Amino acid sequence: MSAATESPRPAGELIAAVEADLDRARGAIAGTAVRTPAVPSAELGAMLGSPVVLKAECLQRSGSFKLRGALSKLASLGAGAAGGVVTASAGNHGRAVADAARTKGVPCIVYMPRDATVSKVAAIEALGADVHLEGESVDEALSLAAAAARENGAALVHPFDDLQVIAGQGTVGIELLEDVPDIARVIAPVGGGGLAGGLGVALRRSGRRVALIGVQAQACAPYAYALAGGSSAGGAALVPALAPGATIADGIAIKRPGRITLPLLEELLDEIATVAEDEIADAIVFLAERAKLVAEGAGAAALALLLATRLRPVDGTTAVVVSGGNVDSGLLAGLLRRHETEEGRRVRLFTRVPDRPGGLAELLELVARSRANVISVEHVREAVPLRVRETGVALTLETRGRDHTDQLLAGLRVAGYEVAVG
């Protein structure tokens, strides 16, 4: 039967296969993958009402948990990897496979969507992989990668729908169980489902009752859609492909669940939730400002659910998997500026000053006395109503917050300036 018509394997059989492979996978990643820390967060614990740790996979060698699965898969191939490996990815999986392939000394080809993040493409190329930017989505890139693997006799390394890859991701769960003795709940992002599937198997193998919550971006949530009725009996092939909406969590923007991961997640997840773009953005900023961790959208999705206050405290510790840190620097800078604006710490003002020597200096002297920081100054002499011998000035300022901004505005108006904000 073709892959499209093949009946899905029972969840119990899949769980048993991954469980039997966990220890081999752990040996495969030893010495290459980093044992990432579970960082306690008193602030998050206070918000939730019970202890919280952040499993910082954003500190992994390749910048995400994906290296674990890649190393596990390549080790399982043995001599079969000699002809090279081919994969498809939005970024993190491709970078991980390229890293693992370089470690093993084998050629690597990575197919990526045409709109893949420039920084992620550059990182993969820097590892020596041959990158092909083809297809409008990861799904299309994956079809091209599978065809290339058949044509070249190379081994295909699927981003998530592979038992050895899932076992590698399950090592995250093994470490959490060892490092967090009172672990009661794990929150993890769900893209293809390999991380959540591996985590779930590791947690179940321990015999301890640990709840597992999966999180997807609202803009692209095929698992939430597929599991909404509580059954995956039709198999992944019968779940309609969802066109991914624009999301900053591009690393988990998958059109359709996997044939292996769908039955796994139906059996192993206690809950699946979705988060909005603004919630993901807020989580990225929280991690950067409060936890000093750099996370991409997919990596921050799990925390976004906790910050949205839709979870109850538990009797034990909640572990939030920060799955990746390969964020585009321009996006991160924009989100931080957006947050400063929302918090009232960055403001843009427009006013008018006399168009004569010293006119602008007098305005800036008042700003300096208020202890605000000038980010930019722009003269505006066109397309605004001005009196004769008058010029407009647009100021972007950094303040200590809304109260400080209000004090600054009041001082400027007392001094005779007409000030507009925005």
CA atoms within 13 A on the CB side of 36: 32
Reduce the secondary structure of 86-137 to three states and give it as a string: EEECCCHHHHHHHHHHHHHCCCEEEEECCCCCHHHHHHHHHCCCEEEECCCC
Tokens 């011998």 belong to 389
Strands 183-189 and 317-322: parallel
- Two tokens at 379? 């003269």
End-to-end CA distance of the chain: 62
Among residues 66, 120, 137, 232, the one annotated as catalytic is 66
- Two tokens at 298? 């997919």
Edge-first strand listing for the sheet containing 373-380: 373-380, 390-398, 346-354, 420-421
For residue 323, indicate whether it is catalytic. Answer: yes
C-alpha span between 413 and 90 (Å, rounded): 51
Sign of CA dihedral 13, 17, 194, 101: negative
Sign of CA dihedral 256, 259, 261, 264: positive
Task: Give me the amino acid identity at 156.
Answer: L
CA atoms within 13 A on the CB side of 33: 29
For residue 64, indicate whether it is catalytic. Answer: no
The alpha-carbon radius of gyration of the chain (Å, integer) is 25
Q: Which residues are catalytic?
A: 66, 323
